[in-house]
Chains A and B, each alone.
Chain A
Amino acid sequence: MSDYLFYPGCSMESSAKAYYHSVMSVCKSLDIKLNEIDDWNCCGATEYLSLDRMPAYALIARNLALAEKQANGSKTVVAPCSACYLNLSKADHYMNEDKAFGKSINEALSAGGLHYTPGELSVRHLLDVVLNDIGLDAVKAKVVKPLTGLRVAPYVGCMLPRPDYGKRYSDSEHPTELDDLLSALGAEVIDFPLKTACCGGHMTQIGPETAFELIRRLISSADEYKADVMVALCPMCQMNLDAFQSQMNGYFKTNYKMPILFFTQLMGLAFGEKSEKLGFGSEFVSAHEAMKRIGVHTPIPEDIKPEPKKPAGLPMPPPRTKTGQKNTIGNKEVSK
């Protein structure tokens, strides 16, 4: 049993629940114990750094300070989101390299009674922990349902292999770690040339045309290589490629239907877990047909209705209803 400090990040509680559930399932199978950092806060993504340097770094460092306090022997913080992973490593790296800067951040932290010793913790992504602490042999030993015949495009994205302060990955543009892991699960891994190209990041919100082109490049390349599914290891990459795929199709008049899954979802399947428990069916582009080809049943997204009544599209107060009339919108907000 290996103990780690765990920084889930905000997406795991909202848009990337599939990732959360599959991470939990896989870590249980591999005997990885994740101790969530108590009362962690958002890492600020790329947005706070854009606005104001000191508070942005102080926001990130609060998590490191809390983790250090909670460490109890374990010195590794595991983050499954590439953006969180990079921010936590970035704060640790610069506080360590630039002592005056580190001192200022600690001065800010002291206003909340906290302190972080730069270099005290090592921040790592779950992929790195699985490969280097658990090892591919241990992973292979857990595989009961190999993903034979499934063609997978391994998509690593930007913030894991770059800038890679800890020099943990084999290459900053063509790292092979994710390929190796997926091969160990029995999948047929394509040599994906765009594996670390950009998913569009926040451009889906601030410059959609730019984002659509970046999404198109990735999806069309995976499609050309006849991938059945693409695998991501970051909630933002998965969200951009999955949720915006239909808008991208509309923009370019294309008809790609490339399912985007988290690597832990495929690990869970190979380890014999039921697809329902791994968040399958929550994807916008259904993985159902692709997985059926290798004899795995996964829920069809359209069939999943968590509540009998459909909620409204945008957060709004529940509409007034006439007595006796069935209210089909808004009820979810009330019950939550």
Chain B
Amino acid sequence: MTNAVSVVDPPSSQTRREDPALLHEVSLRTPGKSHIEMCIQCGTCGGSCPSGSAMNHTPRAIFAMLRAGMRDDVLKSNTPWMCVSCYYCTVRCPQEIHITDVMYTLKNMALESGMVQDSTAFDFSKTFIHYVENYGRSFEIGLAGIHSLTHVKLATRLLDMAPMAIGMLTKKGMSPLPPKHIKGINDLKKILNRAKELEAA
């Protein structure tokens, strides 16, 4: 990997607080049996990770930190946000830990706690879901457009992205207009709102 590895600051005395309930909380919030308690610290996950070099902590370190109850350090780490959902770690883990799903849980918890350090990934998810919640469908062109306007340098946008944007519209014949609403958008909104209440409960 060519990009520089960013290292987080050593934990302050405040984040040194132990939270013995952390591991259990993550386990409970992950659907199905996550087997997270079974980690033997073998490191297969980190060794299998295609984006590991961009992470503050390898997945193995995250599992050790979870067991140590280092809540703030875990929730501030960029590790779950750099996960590409390739599931290599999940299928290779000798303890059958659902690592990718645990990463989703950690992202959910990081958002709730307001501890996300770099909002790029989080904003991308938000923009994506904005269209889904309001139209029922995703909107690739709008998503890429809005995300690049807010997160990509102007020079990069003009030099690298303009040809691609034009190609999307000409070669791929993609529509620059937002998607049509699904017919059941109102029911979908009710479903999602109820689900949000259930998650918060």
B-binding residues in A (CB < 8 A)? 10-11, 13-15, 17-18, 39-42, 44-55, 57-59, 62, 93-94, 97-98, 101, 104-105, 107-114, 158-159, 162-164, 172-173, 197-198, 200-203, 205-207, 209-210, 213-214, 243-244, 246-247, 250, 281-284, 301, 304-306, 310-315, 332-333, 336
Contacts and interface: CB of A to CB of B under 8 A. Distances in A.
A159 B195 contact: no
Interface in B115-146: 120-122, 124-126, 128-129, 131-132, 136-142, 144-145
A46 B196 contact: no
Given A305-B170, A310-B166, A53 B31 contact: yes
A47 B51 contact: no
The size class of the interface chain B forms with chain A is 35 or more
B83 to A, nearest CB: 9
**What is the interface of chain B mostly: helix, strand, loop, or mixed?**
helix
B31 A101 contact: yes
Contacts of A112: 184, 187-188, 190-191
Contact of A54 (B126, B145, B162, B196): B196
Given A48-B129, A59-B132, A206-B120, A109 B104 contact: no
Contact of B84 (A53, A59, A109, A198): A198
Given A41-B137, A197-B50, A108 B85 contact: no
A159 B132 contact: no
B176 A311 contact: yes
Interface stretch (B38-46, B57-65, B105-113): B105-113
B194 interface: yes
**A-B CB proximity, top 10 nearest:** A112-B187, A162-B87, A54-B199, A108-B195, A111-B194, A315-B176, A58-B195, A201-B84, A54-B195, A94-B31
Contacts of A15: 140, 168, 172, 174
- Among B82, B163, B177, B192, which residue has the most Cβ atoms of chain A within 10 A? B192
B85 A281 contact: no
